[in-house]
Chains A and B, each alone.
Chain A
């Protein structure tokens, strides 16, 4: 299968403009980035260069807590977002089918390296972690802006993959914002996906069914849980991950200033919702079904 390099996201030396090399006149302007010397990734022709976004989150199996106004993260056991494992797996499967490379991108404090390592132990080739004190409390817009800068700096990618939403913040908008910053079309809520010659095709979840959606590459896709069965990291994979390259960048490395990551939303107050109270809880001694039927009768639904 031929994957001509021409469809890659291309950046010329005059700036970070993305375009099809075949059609330079269709160049999509980059919204915020300045020119920089590039370390171009060399990927063989006929293979895919894949970026996968991953997030380090507090273990979702533990009860969440607020630390003042934000989700408590410090001192809380963290994991690779389970939703992102589907993204990593999707990237690995495409790489296995077409050849190429999978690079993980994450933004978070130094401890987020754990999530990147986890993805590397599944089989991703390398990682990039952007950490900066100025990024504490970043919103989805800022996160997308930073990841877009990191992805552009790291190379030319055919495909950017993300989970539909994070398990901790579940805003679900970061990938779309990222796609816009990168000037890429987006195929979202993928239940399944297939790569073909120069396009990617997904079945996209809708409220009452699904749509089949396709786009030429480069593109961004978001995957739902259930799109695949994420592999477990083998012992060998875990050992290998320790030696895989991970770049750690600050905002300065991305030519972004603290001003570029100013967040325009703040917590004005935290309150407690009126809680539902537990009613009667009884052990089923054979009359459980009758109790429920009585309840339905009282509620006038039968």
Chain B
């Protein structure tokens, strides 16, 4: 039976959630044997969760080398594993490290690499969206192994697999591949729910006029409760808020119950990251703003005027 592999990033001992989403999808592909590869500290422990989501076997190594150096050691290990086991399709999350590894692997295997897939149709066809998600393109891949980067949140992760058989990976990594070294790791401090998990997401764009006005979004988030605050790329590029808050093509993909966009015009790059929201509310001065075309409720008005009023309205309704 042809093998489908899922490369699972493990950070701080935790499996990247996108890998679990992709495994859930992969186990439903007919006629495929699903396996996972996890490299770096915590990989062996991750096997349990990967098995629960559909991996029959997990090739794992806890070696620090995979976390300490960018892309090259993991590419080498994957390449050797692929040479030995000949998977037909290798799926990666479209995340930072995986993108780097998949890119290098493409050069080593000489196989084509497809990015931004939002659906895996079968072992050689995947789909991606263009123009803000309005156009869906089916892409047929040839050669072996086929490499595909899958966008986070394309599928829902549900357990339902079984127990994975752990196969220890023992690949010698040449010093030549230990050059791009991580010296320091910093995590931005966040309070409240994570952007990708919050049931309500509030985002701000250029229409908020200056960085200080993001404070109003924080206040609104606090009054609604269980709400995360995000931003557009324009605002992040301007340095108003950290990149960790960026929602869009580059940045985080969110699928909350309600998405509130303040002073966001609705550039394609942003829409791709939030159009999966159940309900969208947009507030913008410009009645021509593209965001109104996908909003369930659109208010043409000044976000800075409406925000303080809305904070009060929410407070009074919550009693």
Contacts and interface: CB of A to CB of B under 8 A. Distances in A.
Given A185-B70, A188-B96, A268-B125, A292 B181 contact: no
A252 to B, nearest CB: 21
A215 B177 CA distance: 11
B253 to A, nearest CB: 11
A124 B298 CA distance: 46
A282 B243 contact: no
Contacts of B94: 172
Contacts of A268: 125, 138-140
Contacts of B142: 264-266
B249 A296 contact: no
A280 B280 CA distance: 11
A140 B139 CA distance: 14
B63 interface: no
Interface residues of A, number: 83
Count class of interface residues, chain B: 35 or more
Quick one: which of B115, B237, B278 has the most chain A CB within 10 A? Answer: B115
Given A210-B186, A278-B298, A290 B112 contact: no
A141 to B, nearest CB: 5
B185 A276 contact: no
Interface string A157-177: 000000011000011111111
Interface in A176-219: 176-181, 185-189, 191, 201, 204-216, 219
B139 A290 contact: no
A269 B72 CA distance: 35
A276 B279 CA distance: 10
Contact of A288 (B115, B287, B301): B301
A280 B15 CA distance: 41
Interface stretch (B50-58, B162-170, B308-316): B308-316
Nearest to B101: A176
Contact of A301 (B137, B199, B294): B199
Given A172-B115, A173-B103, A279-B295, 20 more contacts: A141-B110, A170-B115, A171-B114, A171-B115, A173-B99, A176-B101, A176-B106, A177-B107, A179-B71, A180-B105, A185-B180, A188-B96, A188-B100, A189-B96, A207-B244, A211-B183, A214-B180, A226-B239, A280-B296, A292-B297
17 contacts: A140-B115, A170-B249, A171-B116, A176-B100, A176-B103, A177-B103, A177-B113, A179-B104, A180-B108, A185-B179, A215-B180, A225-B237, A226-B237, A265-B139, A268-B140, A284-B299, A291-B297
